[in-house]
Amino acid sequence: MIQILVTALFALGCFLVVVSLPLQSAGSALRRIGITLIVIPLAGCLCFGALKEAIRQQGLNFDISDGVSLILGVAVLSVIAYVILKVRRRASTPGQPKRIAMKRPYSHQRRGGDVISFIREQLDRDE
């Protein structure tokens, strides 16, 4: 029964991601839900697979704390990685990005009425 549920969640997640791709930005919420439905069964399989492997290695003398400590270790490492990424992102954005700071405002006044002067103005503005 659980195997059917895991397979159905994974398949539904893949379907939602594929359906949301042609929708571009309008399908971003649908894509997020689909990715979540893909990750949930994979995370469950990882945790229970680690617990099953720990039981198999210990035989009948299995102490449940070994499997639980393995799962908690993975959870703690993922939280630490998340915190490091958040701190790094906040430290790397000093304010306005360099490209935006270099941009000049666009004036709607034209120098001349011909096409060549318009192109020249556009090229001067983009430098």
Angle (CA) 63-69-75 rounded to 5° is 155
Tell me the per-residue pLDDT of 100-110, one tens digit each, with 9 for 90 and over: 666 666 655 65
State the Cα–Cα distance between residues 127 and 120, nearest whole angstrom. Answer: 11
CA distances from 24 to 33, 71, 80 (A): 15, 36, 32
Tell me the per-residue pLDDT of 75-91, one tens digit each, with 9 for 90 and over: 888 899 999 988 887 77
Q: Please tell me the pTM assigned to this model.
A: 0.44
The answer to whether the beta carbons of residues 13 and 34 sit under 8 Å apart is yes
CA distances from 12 to 18, 29, 45, 49 (A): 10, 15, 17, 22
Q: Where are the domains of the chain?
A: 2-105
